[in-house]
């Protein structure tokens, strides 16, 4: 074997293909690569050509039909010996009427498969029909082939080799339809992400939109599951409800400000008009005084001036008091607006999630637990509930500080999310305790899942400054009983977790 590195062999292979003027097919590449690497060249197993040959071979009697089944099995196993045995045995069966039922196989063959019963064909037909909703009804030719195949599978008189040919043709078209649907879903997700990004850019000053856009962005990230979409929908509806309520009150406050501003402008206009009238009276009085010939002519003018001045003073005092009241009300309204905007920001960021770890909070856990229990009751599937508690957390807090303790909680939540399945749910139960809901998981598999999480956590060293700290947890796992509530299952898991602590910590115990 060559002592060259793989990338050197690959580069030399490409040079040799060019120098020898060979067609750059996978077979030629593999042959030259093995030659340079000093490896034996083994021809690839021609699975697809062999399957086409097997589909074209007729089954004119039970013996041939049996051998074709063995041939199909051998091709699937990539066994040349099995292919040879099936072909030799197939040739040994004569046509009906010869009186010869055929010789026994010349060599050991794989175990015979079960007979193709009508029940088996019915299962295949149902399986094909189940694919229809996922692939849509836009392709008329695909729908036609689907109906043709299901009719053939349910026809007792249909010949097996014809059914095989129909299935092969249908499976080929099915692969294209599935690829189209996958591409459509991916494109729709990209369009949704683009819309969300544009909303965020167009609404930079609207901080209250952050909770909604974050929820939508999370929903648009694969893998896409119904549980995940349902959770995001519930969160989004709650945020929208709270935001509508808070923004409605903000609009009311803004309307009050507009009304007060209009009143303020009206009062200013009124004051300006009164001042203009007062100024006119003063000018007229000055003229009358200048034209007066004797003291008796001045007295009525002074009396009118005093009256006008007193009226102006009274009106000014009234407007001043009214404007002062308006200013105080404006300040109170502004404070209310600031409070409402803060509330909008708070409900947008919190929703049903813990702000420190990003896991569900208690309210979110209650809703998720009720939803999972409903699924359990409806589908009769197992649900395991795990309760985790970080070991020696108080000691870590006391030694390293609360900031380090918070970082440790976030670290555990991050590792847990990376190890969980998309359908699992992580929630912060309180303090250093977390709850993980494991749907479709019996008790023994739930214990295995928590043990895997412990191993992964031990590999991911947590850094407290420059110090490496090993974070471990003790856990109890309970499987929801038939007549048990979610709170009772968590209580049993908590008791098992307490036993794990007593038994030495860093272990998982089933309830």
Residue 30 and residue 122 in one domain: no
Residue 12 and residue 129 in one domain: no
Q: Please state the domain count of the chain.
A: 3
pLDDT in tens, 433-467: 999 999 999 999 999 999 999 999 998 888 887 88
Here the CATH number for the domain that contains residue 479 is 3.30.70.270
How distant, in Å, are the alpha carbons of 408, 411, 421, 434 from that of 463?
9, 10, 26, 21
Choosing from 161, 189, 217, the residue where a domain stops is 189
**How far apart are the C-alpha atoms of 30 and 12, rounded to whole Å?**
12
Reading the block at residue 386, the tokens are: 């795990």
Query: Is the whole model's pTM more than 0.85, yes or no?
Result: no
Which one-letter DSSP state was computed for residue 224? P
Residue 224 has a pLDDT of 62
Q: Please, are residues 89 and 105 in contact by the beta-carbon 8 Å criterion?
A: yes
Reading the block at residue 475, the tokens are: 């856990």
pLDDT in tens, 312-322: 777 777 777 77
Residue 376 and residue 506 in one domain: yes
pLDDT in tens, 330-348: 777 767 767 766 666 565 5
In a domain, 144, yes or no: yes
Residue ranges making up the domain that contains 469: 362-510
- Give the 3-state DSSP-derived string for 243-310, with helices as H, strands as E and coil as C: HHHHHHHHHHHHHHHHHHHHHHHHHHHHHHHHHHHHHHHHHHHHHHHHHCCCHHHHHHHHHHHHHHHH
User: pLDDT truncated to tens, each residue of the chain (511 aa)?
Assistant: 557 777 788 888 888 888 888 877 777 777 887 888 877 766 667 778 888 888 888 887 777 888 888 888 888 777 888 888 888 888 877 544 434 444 444 444 445 444 567 778 888 888 888 877 777 777 777 788 888 888 888 888 877 778 888 888 888 778 777 777 777 777 777 776 676 666 655 554 555 566 566 666 666 666 666 555 665 666 566 656 666 666 676 677 677 767 776 776 776 666 667 677 767 777 777 777 777 666 666 777 667 777 777 777 777 777 777 777 777 777 777 677 677 666 665 655 555 778 788 888 888 899 889 989 998 998 899 999 999 999 999 888 888 888 899 999 999 999 999 999 888 999 999 889 999 999 999 999 999 999 999 999 998 888 887 888 889 999 999 999 988 999 999 999 999 999 999 999 999 999 9
Residue 33 and residue 124 in one domain: no
Does 409 sit behind a cis peptide bond, omega within 30 degrees of 0 on the bond before it? no
Q: Please report how the helices 295-350 and 226-291 are oriented relative to each other, as an axis angle in degrees rounded to 10.
A: 170
């Amino acid at each position: 074997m060559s002592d060259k590195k793989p990338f050197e062999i690959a580069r030399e292979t490409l040079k040799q293909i060019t120098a020898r003027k060979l067609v750059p097919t996978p077979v030629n590449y593999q042959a030259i690569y093995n030659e340079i690497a000093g490896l034996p060249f083994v021809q690839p197993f021609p699975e697809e050509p062999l399957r086409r040959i097997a589909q074209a071979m007729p089954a004119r009697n039970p013996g041939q039909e049996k051998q074709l089944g063995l041939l199909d099995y051998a091709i699937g196993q990539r066994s040349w010996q099995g292919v040879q045995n099936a072909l030799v045995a197939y040739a040994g069966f004569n046509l009906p009427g010869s009186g010869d039922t055929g010789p026994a196989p010349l060599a050991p063959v794989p175990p015979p498969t079960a007979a193709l019963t009508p029940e088996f064909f019915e299962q295949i037909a149902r399986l094909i029909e189940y694919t229809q909703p996922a692939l849509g009804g836009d392709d008329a030719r695909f729908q036609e082939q689907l109906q043709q195949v299901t009719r053939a599978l349910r026809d007792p008189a249909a010949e097996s080799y014809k059914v095989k040919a129909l299935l092969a043709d249908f499976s080929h078209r099915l692969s294209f339809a599935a690829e189209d649907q996958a591409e459509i879903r991916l494109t729709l997700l990209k369009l949704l992400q683009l819309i969300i990004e544009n909303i965020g850019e167009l609404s930079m000053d609207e901080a209250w939109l952050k909770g909604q856009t974050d929820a939508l962005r999370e929903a648009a990230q694969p893998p896409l599951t119904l549980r995940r979409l349902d959770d995001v929908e519930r969160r989004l509806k709650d945020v929208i409800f709270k935001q509508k309520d808070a923004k409605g009150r903000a609009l009311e406050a803004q309307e009050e400000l507009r009304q007060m501003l209009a009143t303020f402008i009206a009062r200013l206009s009124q004051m300006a008009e009164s001042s203009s009238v007062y100024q006119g009276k003063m000018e007229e009085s000055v003229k009358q005084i200048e034209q007066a010939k004797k003291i008796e002519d001045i007295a009525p003018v002074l009396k009118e001036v005093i009256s006008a001045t007193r009226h102006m003073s009274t009106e000014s005092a009234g407007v001043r008091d009214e404007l002062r009241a308006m200013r105080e009300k404006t300040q109170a309204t502004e404070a209310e607006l600031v409070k409402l905007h803060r509330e909008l920001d708070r409900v947008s960021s919190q929703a049903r999630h813990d702000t420190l770890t990003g896991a569900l909070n208690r309210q979110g856990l209650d809703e998720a637990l009720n939803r999972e229990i409903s699924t359990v009751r409806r589908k009769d599937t197992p649900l395991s509930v795990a309760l985790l508690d970080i070991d020696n957390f108080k000691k870590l807090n006391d030694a390293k500080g609360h900031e380090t303790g918070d970082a440790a909680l976030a670290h555990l939540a991050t590792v847990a999310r990376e190890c969980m399945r998309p359908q699992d749910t992580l929630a912060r139960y309180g303090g250093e305790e977390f709850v993980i809901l494991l749907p479709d998981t019996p008790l023994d598999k739930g214990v295995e899942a928590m043990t895997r999480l412990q191993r992964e956590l031990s590999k991911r060293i947590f850094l407290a400054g420059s110090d490496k700290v090993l974070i471990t947890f003790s856990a109890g796992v309970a499987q929801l009983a038939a007549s048990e509530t979610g709170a009772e299952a968590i209580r049993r898991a908590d008791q098992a977790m307490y036993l794990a602590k007593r038994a030495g910590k860093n272990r998982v115990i089933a309830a």
